[in-house]
Structure 1
Amino acid sequence: MESIYRKNGPGWQDLDDDELKSLLFKCLEDRRYLVVMDDIWEIEAWNEVSVAFPTNSNGSRVLITSRIKEVALHASSLNNSIPHIPPYELPFLDEDKSWELFSKKVFGGGTCPLELETLGRQIVKSCRGLPLAIVVLGGLLANKEKTHRTWSKYVGHVNSYLTEDRSSCMDILALSYNHLPRRLKSCFLYFGIYPEDFEIPVRQLIRLWIAEGFIRQIGNRNIEDVAEDYLEELIDWSLIQVATKRLDGGVKTCRIHDLLRDLCISESAEEKFLEVCSDIKLSPMSKCRRISIHFANHPYISSNPCESSNIRSVMGFGGVVGLESPLDKGYYLKWLCKSNKLVRVVELSNMAICCVIPKRIENLVLLRYLSISSGARHVIPNSICNLWNLETLDMRNFEIKCLPKGIWKLKKLRYLYLNGPTSLPRTDNKAGLPNLQVLTGIDLNLNSMRLFARARFPNLRKLGLRSASGRFIDIDSVVLSLSSIYPLRHLQTLKLCEFMIILSDKISLQLTKITLLDLRVCAPSTWGVLGSLTNLRILKVVGCGMFTLECNESSFCQLEVLKMAKVTNSEWTMEKGAMPRLQRLVIERCNFKTMPLDELWCLSALRDVEVLHPDPELANMLRQLQMRDGCKLQVYPPLNPFPTTN
């Protein structure tokens, strides 16, 4: 702009926007230019200014930075003669890059004294690769004595020092939060419930969001899909990090940087949105609606009763509780039932406590979400069936033989997670669970088959069946059991655990994902039946041995992902043309007598092959394998390029 000013003289600052854009266009026309625009927040802002850059096809470039992926994608997709490069997403810095940036900020052109380097690297590691945090920390230490005594004060307290000077760090991070759409702000602040460095299960997070009422229904769309879109937006805003991905490419777990977590907690405190505490002595005058309790190996927690409060959600994490603690007697739930009858969310499955469901659970009439843990077998009281608002009931850490008879009254129930094998209660009427999306840990017996066949779960999307005793299921009963779920026309995912399965007849199911876990027997004909499923995209086989997987040219025509783990003493053969759409193959701790490696690497769609802990014979085959272009092979632990000899 200085060169434009020199050329055009004083008065240019009085021009309106259109005149400025016209002036800039004329100044850049017929010139080769590089324009850098930092921190663009909105698509409209880019659209307004981009017309000022002439498309002269002479090597000119426009570089923009943005915290919002949508803005970067839009800017890189415009159709003009200036070359457009896909957005480059800046990764977090590794330890060496972090140390290099820190050293430049603290010592300028100098080097760090050897006696401070170990301590300095320890301090920098606390920044977790975030350049802004590293630069601010370096600026703080650049003006301090460069001594071991001074730097040691920062160990374990880096975030505290960074948050003290809000103008340097926290206010910069807060810009992203302030620009968030209103519908995303509560979802972002909710990350403050989790402890530092906690790897957050996305499906749990989504269920919590839904129970809290954060997700808006959009037309006929599944509300879980809308919630996933919310999470992807937060990731695109660079506020949340992807930790691990599912086989289908979706986000399995995520995490939040410590500084952004501190931002969530500080903003939540101001808005009375969330409070993080370390005990259960909660103030009855607290205005916060959500309480997240973080234990750090407390041997004993006081059981002093609390008065009624404004609490709507209670979450807990960690802790090693003494055997004599009242928490082992279900204290939390008893306390809630007595003093906090307005609670909507209870998430205690991440705590090392044993919960017993009290009969007075029915007092929590507004409860939407209940997830607890227990290491013993318990009976669920029938009073829980009076919680007519309940949407999520997660009992995966319980041993429950049978659900209470009144379970059919929970018409709003969407997720029912059981460890199993658990029997469904009998009913002679047309009772059902019309909104149920997920049902796991169910014992496959004649009663459950009958309930499936009678469409008592019309909107079920995921079903997990478990054998009561690893019993043998013959051809007729398996076909019967699978045919009984035909009325579940929305069913996409099926998980079979601890069965002996023999299939010989074709089945007409619209499944997209099947998981076979700890199979006792799996006959060759079974693979032919599974391979004939026209919509099957993901197949997982975990803990199975002594079978023959034969794939002909018409097998698994739509399969995109195949994972095989702990498969032993098995044979795998494949004809040319089988699995034409296979993109990802994962083999973990497997031992095959025969394996079609050459045929697999001829698959044109295959892009990613991951082999974890291969046996020696498979490792030797992989060493000789010639990878074709476009297909990535990952082996862990890495193979030696050549076998060692004495």
Structure 2
Amino acid sequence: MAESVVCFVIEKLVSLLISTEAKLSRDVRKEVGCIRDELESIRSFLKDADAKEAVEGEMDDSIKTWVRQVREAAYYIEDAIDEYLLCITRHHQDRGFLHKITWLVKKMKPQDEIASKVEAMKTLVSEIKARHERYGFNSSEQGQGRREMTVPWHDPRVASLFIEEAEVVGVESARDELINWLVEGASKHERREVISVLGMGGLGKTTLAKKVYDNQKVMAHFDCCAWITVSQSYHVEDLLRMMIRQFCKSRKEYIPEGTDQMDQESLIVKSREYLRQKRYVVVFDDVWKVDFWGAIEHALPDDNAGRIMITTRIKDVADFCKKSCFVHVHHLQPLPPNKAWELFCRKAFQFEPEGICPEELEELSLEIVRKCEGLPLAIVSVGGLLSTKDKILSGWQKLYSSLSSELESNPHLTSLTRILSFSYHHLPYYLKSCALYFGIFPSISCIRLIQLWIAEGFVKSKKGKTLEEVGEEYLTELIHRSLVQVSRVCIDGKARSCRVHDLLREVLLRKGMESSFCHMLSEHGSNFTPITRRLSIDSSPSDALVSIQQSHIRSVFTFNQEEWPESFLNTLNGNFKLLKVLDFEDVPINQLPKYVGDLYLLKYLSLRHTKVKFLPESIGNLQNLETLDLRHCLVYEIPAKINKLLKLRHFSAHYCDYSTNFSMTYERGVKIHDGIGCLQALQKLYHVEANHGGINLIKALGKLRQLRRLGLKNLKSEDGGDLCASIEKMNHLESLEVSTLSEDEVLDLQSLSTPPKFIRFLYLKGPLEQLPSWIPQLQQLVKLRIFWSRLRDSPLKALQNLPHLLELGFSYKAYDGVQLHFEGGFEKLRVLKLKDLKGLSSLIIDNGVMPDLQELQIGPSPQLKEVPSGIHHLRNLTTLRFVDMPKEFPRNMDPNDGQHYWVVEHIKYVLFSYKFGPRCGVFETHTLRDSSL
């Protein structure tokens, strides 16, 4: 983590050197450059120290002290830079016409301050470097003696190779699948193939691979075999020698003479010669590096049905092999609850009669198993620890409550902690801070997470890409490394929210607290250090805030708040002057303090789900603000000074009144009067009420060329032409949502002749009399919803060939015809919602239409009295929902009643509900049993 902090500071120093606002003097600029260079030289040792800690699990005390001092020095430098930038920003705020002379008098003060602090920085870094050289930390050889004197760490991955068959739980299906792939293969030709077992640490990849490798069917099928443990550090020559030795050993042959002296090229030639005309299988266990296959593939011939199995945590390792052979990726899943319970009982109650859980411990034991989330290593480790304890409820409860600290200190669990930590330690420095964020949040929206990373400065710019796109790449890499789990996905398969395993979160949270990355403020409390960068408040903060004075907090997060003392809001003023992130989501506050405008460095402000009604005029001072989240709060009118927020990238504001029925007015946006065209960095703007800004607002939108998402409400009929003209200028637009002021205002978008080609989500709400001719041109369209339209003709033929359309919805007067006939197309459609088709009496679905449809919702449709004809053709349909259907519509699910029995065997859920909208309630739900109703 120390390397990550130093790299972050180096990048800030570089930014300071090239900043046009900083205007450093020549001497100060030179000194800053020297500090940067010194930190660069220190960084290489920090990287080595982090790597040693990852492998050995421990760090020499003297090195640990030095690393802590480096980290604190880096934080001091970061503070000095941010305080200087804060001073500069304040001066810019005061540089009005009447303050120019005053500013000219004072303008040297920031230069004087930064000059003195730069001198202090240089002295501090020089002392740290001298200490580093004085104690010889840069000599990797001196560490060898210390390692020989320490007790070697027991790596549980070694034990995985020797687990008896009877002890293995829940791998039978995966084992049989992999054996079949090894023996039978996928190709019809005798070609080399790779089977990759992919999953997070502790999931049992090595155990599974070993059971497959040792299987008699596998051994009998191949002429020779080899098992190679690769891990994070290796030499290709050593792997090749080991592989040749094991091939020879499996055939009880002598190892070729001179193998130990051969170079890489000679070893590759020798391996190819040996494997000629032989069927071979080789397992490379625990592979971490993407380029591993490129180094090893030439030693394994491609023409004799060779099978290579790789176990890895990293998806890109498996994908890299695809460049030269067929790859089957097996995603190893956590144990299901019944198998997890079976494994836990085997371990925790192994010395009990019949290995059965005592009744008084069953509820707590089930909670412990749930905490392990199907991770075999966690279940075995925790179960093994509990097997040594007396079977007393109070003792078990105490251990469960202190599991976080036990992970670090208890010898039964330290191996589990280190296995989980490997994925973190192996991360490149720019992802380590991103990963530590998951210690703060149990689960988080991916969009919110990336915006927070950007506000923190974790995301580095890349030429030709937005910061948001780079942030998505970071998150994808963490997911592909099996460190982050996707908990929800969007309709197009993109990650919507994400999390980490509960026990891994405990590990990351502790690492974050040890490195002053974050402090968790809870009722139990813990020591708060002034250099802590982030504050996560998980309880009422009134008592603990006494200790937080003049801190260097950059971010504040809140969770589980039932009340919020005004004293904390007062604490923010002055004490948190370097704040960049202020996340008040779900906090029960009624107003935002006026002094929020003094937080000049603030980049992220969220009032989501608060009771705040007004923004102070001082909001205009936050000229570094990038994200303003007002969703589901009570703010309605936005101060005119918002037009000063030239760096604003994401502005989200809408409020839903769930006390009313679903209608044109149940959701509202905010009022913005003037100046929206100044905010040309905006990528997201929703929802704005167009009737308050009028034509000037509509035209000003054309200046927002970076918009990716736009939401407009309360449009009038005469706005259509100007809106189309503005939209045509938004070349990056991906999501568009527009709605009219009332059902009397016709939504006319026909004049949009060349729509943005990247639109993926389109929502049209209002009296649309004809389908805009440009919609069928949207080749990237994923989701289309048309509400309250007055379409007279079916739009199906116009839409059926959109290649990426996954969800389609019509509602409220969308179609007044008698019959709706799906005759063809919609090849990828997964969700279809047909709502309030008042005149519809017949729905026909031809065979072959919508082959991937999974969810179908119909109603209210008062004239539809028959089940859709051809519904049995929808072979992938799992959920069928009818909303407020007429009494005559068949509801009988009894298969013995032939009159109304219309069951389709593959449908899992049939739901009848009433009151379409926010107060919708299901009064009949029919779930299929054994694939039939």
TM-score (norm 1): 0.83
Q: 1:47 aligns with which of 263, 280, 294?
A: 294
Secondary structure (helix, strand or coil) at the match of 1:254 reads: strand
Residues 580 and 601 in structure 2, CA contact (< 8 A), matched pair in contact too: yes
Q: 1:86 aligns with which of 328, 343, 353?
A: 328
Correspondence 1:175 to 2:386:
no
Residues 4 and 24 in structure 1, CA contact (< 8 A), matched pair in contact too: no
Q: Distance in 1 between matches of 2:354 and 2:780?
A: 58
**Residues 281-300 of structure 1 aligned to structure 2 (within 5 Å):** 285-295=529-539, 298=540
Q: Distance in 1 between matches of 2:452 and 2:535?
A: 14
Q: Following TM superposition, by how much is the alpha carbon of 1:220 offset from its aligned partner in structure 2, in angstroms?
A: 1.8
Higher mean Cα deviation, 590-599 or 553-562? Answer: 590-599
Correspondence 1:607 to 2:848:
no
Q: 2:686 aligns with which of 440, 462, 467?
A: 440
Q: Which residue of 2 aligns with 1:212?
A: 456
Q: 1:406 aligns with which of 637, 641, 645?
A: 641
Would the alpha carbon gap of residues 281 and 544 (structure 1) be closer, same or farther in structure 2, given more than 3 Å must change? farther
**Residues 565-604 of structure 1 aligned to structure 2 (within 5 Å):** 580=826, 582-587=828-833, 594=840, 598-599=844-845, 602-603=848-849
Q: 2:355 aligns with which of 112, 117, 129?
A: 112
Structure having greater relative contact order (Cα 8 Å, sep ≥ 6): 2
Higher mean Cα deviation, 476-485 or 45-54? Answer: 476-485
Residues 452 and 485 in structure 1, CA contact (< 8 A), matched pair in contact too: no
Q: Which residue of 2 aligns with 1:341?
A: 577
Counterpart residue type for residue 326 of structure 1: P
**Residues 323-472 of structure 1 aligned to structure 2 (within 5 Å):** 326-327=565-566, 331-351=567-587, 353-373=588-608, 376=611, 378-419=613-654, 420-426=668-674, 432-445=678-691, 447-454=693-700, 455-467=702-714
Residues 789 and 814 in structure 2, CA contact (< 8 A), matched pair in contact too: yes
Q: Following TM superposition, by how much is the alpha carbon of 1:111 offset from its aligned partner in structure 2, in angstroms?
A: 5.1
More helix by share: 2
Q: Which residue of 2 aligns with 1:100?
A: 342
Q: Following TM superposition, by how much is the alpha carbon of 1:143 offset from its aligned partner in structure 2, in angstroms?
A: 4.4
Would the alpha carbon gap of residues 304 and 134 (structure 1) be closer, same or farther in structure 2, given more than 3 Å must change? closer
Q: 1:259 aligns with which of 495, 503, 506?
A: 503
Q: 2:369 aligns with which of 97, 117, 124?
A: 124
Correspondence 1:312 to 2:572:
no
Q: Distance in 2 between matches of 1:225 and 1:623?
A: 45
Residues 635 and 670 in structure 2, CA contact (< 8 A), matched pair in contact too: yes
Q: Following TM superposition, by how much is the alpha carbon of 1:422 offset from its aligned partner in structure 2, in angstroms?
A: 2.0
Deviations 1:377-431 (A, max 9, x none): 633222111111111111223333432122111111101112253222335xx96
Higher mean Cα deviation, 93-102 or 224-233? Answer: 93-102
Would the alpha carbon gap of residues 570 and 128 (structure 1) be closer, same or farther in structure 2, given more than 3 Å must change? farther
Counterpart residue type for residue 178 of structure 1: H
Counterpart residue type for residue 565 of structure 2: P
Would the alpha carbon gap of residues 423 and 569 (structure 1) be closer, same or farther in structure 2, given more than 3 Å must change? closer
Q: Which residue of 2 aligns with 1:634?
A: 878
Identity, % of aligned pairs?
28
Q: Following TM superposition, by how much is the alpha carbon of 1:522 offset from its aligned partner in structure 2, in angstroms?
A: 3.1
Q: Following TM superposition, by how much is the alpha carbon of 1:441 offset from its aligned partner in structure 2, in angstroms?
A: 2.1
Residues 354 and 373 in structure 1, CA contact (< 8 A), matched pair in contact too: no
Larger radius of gyration: 2
Q: Following TM superposition, by how much is the alpha carbon of 1:515 offset from its aligned partner in structure 2, in angstroms?
A: 4.8
Higher mean Cα deviation, 560-569 or 500-509? Answer: 560-569
Secondary structure (helix, strand or coil) at the match of 1:602 reads: coil
Would the alpha carbon gap of residues 550 and 61 (structure 1) be closer, same or farther in structure 2, given more than 3 Å must change? same
Residues 423 and 448 in structure 1, CA contact (< 8 A), matched pair in contact too: no
Counterpart residue type for residue 386 of structure 1: N
Q: Which residue of 2 aligns with 1:63?
A: 309
Higher mean Cα deviation, 612-621 or 145-154? Answer: 612-621
Q: 1:73 aligns with which of 296, 319, 322?
A: 319
Q: Following TM superposition, by how much is the alpha carbon of 1:590 offset from its aligned partner in structure 2, in angstroms?
A: 7.4
Q: Distance in 2 between matches of 1:214 and 1:205?
A: 11
Q: Following TM superposition, by how much is the alpha carbon of 1:48 offset from its aligned partner in structure 2, in angstroms?
A: 2.4
How many residues are matched? Answer: 616
Q: Following TM superposition, by how much is the alpha carbon of 1:141 offset from its aligned partner in structure 2, in angstroms?
A: 3.5
Would the alpha carbon gap of residues 157 and 574 (structure 1) be closer, same or farther in structure 2, given more than 3 Å must change? farther
More strand by share: 1
Deviations 1:269-293 (A, max 9, x none): 2322122222699977422111111
Q: Following TM superposition, by how much is the alpha carbon of 1:312 offset from its aligned partner in structure 2, in angstroms?
A: 0.9
Secondary structure (helix, strand or coil) at the match of 2:559 reads: strand
Residues 395 and 418 in structure 1, CA contact (< 8 A), matched pair in contact too: yes
Residues 407 and 414 in structure 2, CA contact (< 8 A), matched pair in contact too: no
Higher mean Cα deviation, 31-40 or 449-458? Answer: 449-458
Would the alpha carbon gap of residues 231 and 340 (structure 1) be closer, same or farther in structure 2, given more than 3 Å must change? same
Would the alpha carbon gap of residues 289 and 148 (structure 1) be closer, same or farther in structure 2, given more than 3 Å must change? closer
Counterpart residue type for residue 319 of structure 2: L
TM-score (norm 2): 0.59
Would the alpha carbon gap of residues 400 and 35 (structure 1) be closer, same or farther in structure 2, given more than 3 Å must change? same
Q: Distance in 1 between matches of 2:512 and 2:420?
A: 15
Counterpart residue type for residue 138 of structure 1: G
Counterpart residue type for residue 674 of structure 2: R
Would the alpha carbon gap of residues 259 and 543 (structure 1) be closer, same or farther in structure 2, given more than 3 Å must change? farther
Q: 2:485 aligns with which of 218, 241, 244?
A: 241
Counterpart residue type for residue 680 of structure 2: P
Q: 1:38 aligns with which of 285, 289, 298?
A: 285
Secondary structure (helix, strand or coil) at the match of 2:355 reads: coil
Q: Distance in 1 between matches of 2:673 and 2:619?
A: 15
Deviations 1:47-73 (A, max 9, x none): 323333333434x42211100000011
Q: Distance in 1 between matches of 2:674 and 2:865?
A: 52
Residues 716 and 747 in structure 2, CA contact (< 8 A), matched pair in contact too: no
Counterpart residue type for residue 584 of structure 2: L
RMSD: 3.9
Secondary structure (helix, strand or coil) at the match of 2:461 reads: coil
Q: Which runs of 5+ in 2 are unaligned?
A: 1-244, 655-667, 883-890, 899-933
Q: Distance in 2 between matches of 1:592 and 1:104?
A: 61
Q: Distance in 2 between matches of 1:491 and 1:287?
A: 41
**Residues 527-542 of structure 1 aligned to structure 2 (within 5 Å):** 527-529=771-773, 531-535=775-779, 537-541=781-785
Q: Which runs of 5+ in 1 are unaligned?
A: none
Q: Following TM superposition, by how much is the alpha carbon of 1:435 offset from its aligned partner in structure 2, in angstroms?
A: 0.5
Q: Following TM superposition, by how much is the alpha carbon of 1:212 offset from its aligned partner in structure 2, in angstroms?
A: 0.6
Counterpart residue type for residue 417 of structure 1: S
Would the alpha carbon gap of residues 431 and 608 (structure 1) be closer, same or farther in structure 2, given more than 3 Å must change? closer
**Residues 543-554 of structure 1 aligned to structure 2 (within 5 Å):** 550-554=794-798
Q: Distance in 1 between matches of 2:577 and 2:338?
A: 52
Higher mean Cα deviation, 226-235 or 390-399? Answer: 390-399
Would the alpha carbon gap of residues 423 and 305 (structure 1) be closer, same or farther in structure 2, given more than 3 Å must change? farther
Q: 2:809 aligns with which of 543, 546, 564?
A: 564
Q: Distance in 2 between matches of 1:143 and 1:305?
A: 40
Secondary structure (helix, strand or coil) at the match of 2:383 reads: helix
